[in-house]
Every structure is written in structure tokens, then in C-alpha cells.
Amino acid sequence: MSFHIIIVGAGSAGCVLANRLSANPATRVCLVEAGPPDRNPLIHMPLGLALLARNRAINWGFATEPDPALNSRRLYWPRGRVLGGSSSINAMIYMRGHPDDYRAWAAAVGPAWDWPRVRQIFLDHEGNTALADAHHGTSGPLAVSNLRQVNPLSRAFVQAGVECQLHDNPDFNGARQDGVGIYQVTQRDGRRFSSARAFLDPVRARPNLTILTGVQVQRVLFSGHQASGVRLGDRDLALAPGGEVILCGGAVNSPQMLLLSGIGPGAQLQAMGLPVLHDAPEVGRNLADHLDITVQAAASRAAIGLAPSFVPRALRAAIAYARHGAGELTSNVAEAGGFALSDPTRDRPNLQFHFIPAYIHDHGRRTAWGYGLTLHVCDLLPKSRGTISLASPDPLAPPRIAANYLSHPDDLPTLLAGFKLARRIVRSPALAPHVRRETLPGPGVQSDADLIADIRARAETIYHPVGTCRMGLDDRSVVDPAGKVRGVNGLRVIDASIMPQIIAGNTNAPVMMLAENIARMMLDPSA
């Protein structure tokens, strides 16, 4: 059997495309996912997120190369490997980014990506149950809601931010982005609403949609320069004449799949003993990510804690969740946050905060005993760029991720300014009743030199890698404004990897928007 459309990867983008492109019953669509179905209950119970980083069965668990600016540390990069992809393991924050992000995209890629058009797609996707003004959609397939329960520390963080002259912002996707507030989340009735729940569940029964799980695509097959199918471990999937393969493997796996298929920098492919189908120097380049540093403090028992005294509360939480889908187990962990300027002369925010009313150690991989709080701050508009390349021609081996954080001289001062502001917020009067003592970076770290040393010793990803199959108008770009891979026919890439520039915010909703935009172009090329 052959398919008109083969979608590789059922993540944020892949599920949107599977839904839209299988709407016509005459189009045979196959969605291929390397990971398992999304049955693990920790995926669906929001606080389960704190344990998901430990679960290798649903997580690629990548490691970067030793990073020169970060004391040669290898950073841990979780990515979802399950139906829903990273939207099944993420922190559920609903964020679109800044309108200027998309104005910059349009300048680089053309009017199909300008703010008015992409804004309308965000509204069409959104099923907001809490906000219903001109900035929001209320009837779309993606459930967006307020948190059902907000920890008192998260509210105190917002107050502390206001005490540091930040604006109290009840809606980061509304009239203005800057300020502090409680995040809206992709949840319904206290359960995670991943891309799989929003876009795949409603259409699973379509007879023209085949969903394969536990199957890792190794490469795209070609007849000349025309895509003809994909190679799975033990068999091939064939494309029907005129069909298309769409890679939706995310910012790490999609460039890897292109390279394994012979599309990429010729010299790199030859060094790996791979035939060069199309010499495309930018495949794997332009990797951008949000680098993040934390302030941690021992906190009052109002925090979410791992301690014997927390046991009665945990039991109450379990009962509230089981009976009403409510209570502390509906926390998305990163409950509050906001956007700020690293210096007042800037015209838009370049820092983002994520506030967690708990300790988090090593992305949740290390047990965090006691009551604590963690305030994250990241550089939203970094200029440093990294690369994804092949470590081996073996399709099952992870690729080489050289993130090159802080390799541009402008990035360290921005993160340093954010670090200082985060520390001021944690020391503000509104948080004083909850803060026992700062544990990280700790009272011994005061001078700029010490803070920079601490950044190099502890900074981590906040999970937004993009850009490794850059979309553009120029011949060097990997894909054109409709996601078509240059130099071959019948192949597109549609996921976080094609973002022309990183956006100033969390990346899940923008990736779904991006997939929807190209799905509309495919269904009606004149639109």
C-alpha cells in the first residue's frame, strides 16, 4: 500500500498536519512516530511532568557536546518521543511570542508569515475557557485555560515582580507581553492538552489515516531527486505518485534525517561515507535556543515539597484530582513568570521568567527533598548559534548537538542582567514571608565575575531549540516559505527546525501555528 502523505513524527507539528491533511477522505495519510502511544498517566496528570524527565521510554534524552562557554559541560536536552512529541512532556505554558517575532519572519520569509495572518491562526486554534476578548479564540481545538489551582508562592512571585517595577500582566498573549503574571496552560479539566489530544484524538478513526507508533524512520527514499518513500528498520513505506514526505521530527531529528537522506553539507556527508543527493550547506546550522539560569531558595511549607510533612497534603491532592480533576496535581510546575527588558533602552522584552514553587534539580532527574522555590530566567533573543551534525551514519545513533551557547559576546551580558533581576525579585518583600534563605547561587556569589562563573557552571536549556532547517527566500535556506526542501521534490520539513529566527517565548503553540499555516498552503495553494 502506498500513501499520498507520509508524516514523520507525531509531535506538536505532526499531529496538526495529520489532522488537516487527512480531512479529505481520498488522501491516504500515514503518521509514523518513533515513540509509543501516550498512555503513561504521568503525561496527562500535569504535575506528573516533574517525573517525566526520568522516563527514557518517552524521551529522547539527548546530550549536547561539551560546551566551551559552560565549563565544557554536556547539557541534558529532553525531547518527547511519544504521541504528541514534546507537547506530551512540556510544561503546558500557552504562549505565542511577540508580534515583532513574526514581523521579522515576514521580512525574512515573506507575507505568508506576517503577524496578521499568523495571529488569525493562533485565534483559530485556541479554545480558551478563561479569556474571551479580541485577543483570544474560544472555539478552537486547542484547549487553553487558567490553572485550576495556583500556589501562594506563585502569587507572591507576581507581587514581588511588581515591587521590582514590572507590570502586573494578566494576559501575556494580549495587548502587551511585558510584565509578570500567572501563565495560561494547555489543559482541559485539569488534564494536559497535548497536540495529540487536540489534533489527533478527534480524527483517529478516519479510515484514510494510518498511525504507526514505535517505528523510527531511518531516512527518506528517492527516485532520482523525487522522494519515493521512507525507510523503516525492516521495511519501506512507499509514496503514491505525486505524494509527499513531511519531516516533523523536531529541531534535533529533522536535520539528522535530512543528513541521513543525503541532503546536507556535502563534505560532512562524504566524511560519513554517505552519498550526496543535494549539497545543502545550512542543514543543521542556525541552531538557536533559550539558555537559562536559576535562583533557588529554601521556602516556607506553602511550597510544593518532598518532605514527611507534605504527605497529608499530597493525599488530599490525590483525592481532589481523582474526584474533580482539581488541586495541586493540576500544577504545571512553572505556574508563573513574565517578560522583562535587560536594559531600559530596549524596545521589547528579551528576558523571560519561569517561577516554580518547588525545588527542581537537574530537570527533575534528581530527587529534590524539602520545600523550595526556583526562579528561572532566560535570554529570549540570543545571537549565539549552534549546529546539529551526524556523529555516525547509524540512523539509530543520536546526532551531535553543538549548542555553542554564549558564543556571541552580546549574550552573556543579557543573561547576567536577567540573573541580577531574578535575584532582586526573590529578595523582594512580597516573597519574604516564604523565602528562608537563598541556596543558589548562594550568599557567597556577589560580584559580576562570581555571577558569570556561576552561569558557566550551572546554566541549562529551557527547551526551545529551533532553526536547524531554516526557512527562507534565499537559495541557501533549507526550505522555502511552504516548507519544501530545496534541491529535491516531494519532501517538506515542518516543525520547530524551520523557524527562520527563534521567537521570544515558549515554542509549542508557535509550532502548531506554523504547521497549520503550511497545511493551509498545501490544501489551497492560492490562499
Cβ 526 to ligand FAD, closest distance in Å?
27
Q: Does position 10 bind ligand FAD by CB under 6 A?
A: yes
Q: Does position 89 bind ligand FAD by CB under 6 A?
A: yes
Alpha carbon distance 124, 526 (integer Å): 20
Alpha carbon distance 147, 507 (integer Å): 19
Cβ 274 to ligand FAD, closest distance in Å?
16
Q: Does position 403 bind ligand FAD by CB under 6 A?
A: no
Q: Which of 31, 373, 504, 509 binds ligand FAD (CB under 6 A)?
A: 509
3-state secondary structure of 417: helix
Q: Which of 250, 265, 327, 372 binds ligand FAD (CB under 6 A)?
A: 250
**Residue 209, beta-bridge partner list:** 29
Cβ 398 to ligand FAD, closest distance in Å?
11
Cβ 361 to ligand FAD, closest distance in Å?
15
Q: Which x/- pattern over 206-235 shows residues binding ligand FAD (rule: CB under 6 A)?
A: ----------xx------------------
Q: Does position 90 bind ligand FAD by CB under 6 A?
A: yes
Q: Are 18 and 500 in contact (CB under 8 A)?
A: no
Q: Does position 33 bind ligand FAD by CB under 6 A?
A: yes
- Window contacting ligand FAD (CB under 6 A); options: 17-25, 114-122, 141-149, 503-511: 503-511
> Which residue is closest to ligand FAD by CB?
11
- Give the total of residues touching ligand FAD (CB under 6 A): 40
Catalytic residue among 98, 354, 376, 464: 464
DSSP letters of 49-105?
HHHHTT-GGGB--EEPPPBGGGTTBPPEE--B-STTGGGGTS--B-----HHHHHHH
Q: Are 157 and 425 in contact (CB under 8 A)?
A: yes
Alpha carbon distance 295, 373 (integer Å): 8
Alpha carbon distance 384, 407 (integer Å): 5
Q: Which of 20, 73, 79, 456 binds ligand FAD (CB under 6 A)?
A: 79
**How is residue 342 written as a grid cell?**
535587560
Q: Does position 172 bind ligand FAD by CB under 6 A?
A: no
Q: How many CB atoms lie within 10 A of CB 201?
A: 17
| Residue 464 falls in the annotated catalytic set | yes
Q: Which residues are CB-neighbours of 241 under 8 A, at least 6 positions away? A: none
Q: Are 469 and 255 in contact (CB under 8 A)?
A: yes
Q: Does position 47 bind ligand FAD by CB under 6 A?
A: no
Cβ 463 to ligand FAD, closest distance in Å?
4
- Show contacts with ligand FAD in window 462-501 (CB under 6 A): 463-464, 495-496
Q: Does position 31 bind ligand FAD by CB under 6 A?
A: no
Alpha carbon distance 186, 334 (integer Å): 13
Cβ 195 to ligand FAD, closest distance in Å?
7
Q: Does position 86 bind ligand FAD by CB under 6 A?
A: yes
Alpha carbon distance 236, 257 (integer Å): 15
Alpha carbon distance 298, 435 (integer Å): 6
Q: Does position 34 bind ligand FAD by CB under 6 A?
A: yes
Alpha carbon distance 22, 519 (integer Å): 11
Instruction: Determine if residue 26 is left, alpha or beta; phi over 0 gives left, psi from -120 to 50 gives alpha, anything else beta.
Output: alpha
Q: Does position 294 bind ligand FAD by CB under 6 A?
A: no
Residue ranges in contact with ligand FAD by CB under 6 A: 8-14, 32-35, 78-81, 85-87, 89-93, 95, 216-217, 248-250, 253, 257, 463-464, 495-496, 506-509, 511
- Catalytic positions are 464
